Amino acid sequence: MKFFPICRESGAMFISGRCKVRSSKERVTPLSGKTVPWTGPVGSAVPGTSRTVRSVVGIGYDVTQEVKSSSEKDLLMRELNHRIKNNLNIIASLISLKDSEIEEDLSDIVSRIHAIRIIHEKLQRSESMSDVGVREYFLDLLETIFSNFSRRKVEVQEQIEDMLIPTRIAIPLGLLVNEVATNAIKHGFCDDRPARFTVSFAKNHDNGRLLLVLSNNGRVFPENIRFDNPDTLGLQLIDTLIKQLEGSCQLQRSPTPRFEIEIPAV
C-alpha cells in the first residue's frame, strides 16, 4: 500500500520520538489503484534503547463514508443557509413596503423569524441536513407562537402525518402556519369561548400532492378582504409563499376560517 506524504510525515514523527500516539484521517492508495479511500490510522511508537524508536505499530480503518457524510453535511448546510437567506429577504421586502394602508405589529415580524429559527435549530441537530420531521416542527412552532403572542390559552388539535419533507418545502410551509396562526390570535379569537386551532397535514397517495389544512374556531373571515388581491402584509406573504411552492389555496370564510393549501408532490 502506497501512502500519501501526510502519512510519511506521521511515520517520521514516530521515528523521531516527537509523537508516541497519533490518530488522524489520511488518504491511501490501495494496490489495485482503483480507489482512493480515507483511512483513520491509529499508531503508537514502540520505544527501543537509547531513546530510539524500535518500531511503529498501527491500525488503519476505513472512514471514507464518514468523510463523505461530513462533506455532504457541510454542502447541505450551505444550501440551507442560502434558502433561509432567501426567505428572510421575502420578509424584509414586505416589511420595507411603504403603503400607508398597511399597519404591521412588531410581534408578527418576530414570529416569522421564530418560524425560520426553529427549523434551523432542528436541522443543525439532525443527522440529515436536507429533511425535517414535519409533525414535530409544526407542533413546536405552534407552541412557540401561542405561548409567546397569545394572551389566552389556545388548544391545538392536530392530525399531522409524521413524515420527512425537504427544507425547501419545510421553511415556506412553516411560514404559512405562522401567518395563519398569528392571524387567528389577532382577528379570530374574539369571545369567551375556549380558543382552538386545528392543523392537519397529509399526503394524497393517489396523486402524491400534500395537503395542509389550517382552521380555528374564531370569527368569520371578512368578505371584504380579498385573498386573491391581499392588502395586508400577512396575506401578501401567504400569497407569495403559496406561489413559491407552486401550490393553491382554498379559503372557507364561514362559519369559521379554514385554509386548505395544496402543493405538488415532493
Give ranges for CATH 3.30.565.10 in the chain: 73-263
The CATH code that applies to domain 73-263 is 3.30.565.10
pLDDT at residue 221 in the model: 86
Residue 48 has pLDDT above 50, yes or no: yes
Q: Which of 1-5, 62-66, 241-245 has the highest mean pLDDT?
A: 241-245
**Band of pLDDT at residue 132, cut at 50, 70 and 90:** confident
Q: Tell me, what's the pLDDT at 72? A: 66
Give the other-Cβ count within 10 Å of 222's Cβ. 10
Residue 260 has pLDDT above 90, yes or no: yes
Inform me whether the pLDDT recorded for 62 exceeds 90: no
